[in-house]
Homo-oligomer: A and B are copies of this chain.
């Protein structure tokens, strides 16, 4: 019998992402009419939406704010007991903020900040989506009809967050949330951890931490939504283009994660990815794949390069800190 410690399996999946937007009406149009999500609830300055394949009532929360960025990131626990265990473990780190009553469609949640300051919570009780008659699918195992409107994203997939100290944040979600490290980009002979991709489930990554070259904190690189086939990403490119929305990076394939991507900016300014492909990781003893400067290249599998803005822009957008950063090589966060 091995003495190796067993991985904590207390987090089931990414449950909800709150996006902040200074243009709430335009952002709503983007998520509802261009990406094809459904509005399920409105409360205060927030609108709650869902992808047609999400089992929960709402998985995206759009909240009016002065600046774009990410609000609260919610993780669903694997059980009520798992929620208690995670609250205890996080509380012990001093990063806990305490219990909240629970947002729309959710039971109480334990809130905290990751070391970089991103607001997060863990919850267990979840309201399953019950569609109104006109959104009932002919498929009994599909929570909601595929309406065919716009891109038609199926479900939320993952987040990429910027962090001043990637290792600290990566270690936090590994140790306190039980995420498995999937891939890393390390420069300078491995000394500089540029980015790390992690997940609590076989989905390749549910969160990525990438170095914030401007020295900010709590910033969002992108939020990603899933479609089932690469062809759906290509179709999305035409739908988005015809809608007059800016595409930052056309459909192509990453080397890291093997994800098939398309990056746009929603009108509020946040970078949004329409995503498919990638690969599932089933190995309990997965050895992280580590890329150095040369191997990582431009981040595009087939060649080509992501635009400069992909490295320099995140939300909220900030000026680079006045104190010049130590020599950080150029890289592609993803």
Q: Which residues of chain A have a CB within 8 Å of any CB of chain B?
A: 1-2, 4, 6-7, 9, 12-13, 53, 55, 76-82, 84, 124, 126, 128, 137-142, 145-151, 154, 183, 201-203, 228-232, 234-235, 237-242, 244, 246-253, 255-258, 260, 277, 279-280, 282-287, 289, 291, 295, 300-304, 307
Contact = CB atoms under 8 A, between A and B. Distances in A.
B80 A247 contact: no
B302 A237 contact: yes
Contacts of A279: 53, 141-142, 154
Contacts of A1: 80-81, 84
Contacts of A149: 148-149
30 contacts: A2-B79, A6-B78, A9-B78, A12-B282, A78-B284, A79-B284, A124-B284, A126-B283, A128-B283, A139-B301, A140-B255, A140-B289, A142-B279, A146-B239, A146-B242, A148-B235, A149-B149, A202-B202, A202-B203, A203-B280, A228-B230, A228-B277, A234-B260, A235-B235, A237-B253, A240-B302, A247-B304, A248-B303, A250-B304, A251-B251
A201 B247 CA distance: 34
B301 A140 contact: no
A33 to B, nearest CB: 10
Given A13-B282, A202-B201, A203-B202, A137 B242 contact: yes
A92 B148 CA distance: 51
From A4, A6, A145, A150, residue with most partner B Cβ within 10 Å: A6
A232 to B, nearest CB: 8
A280 B7 CA distance: 21
A241 B303 contact: yes
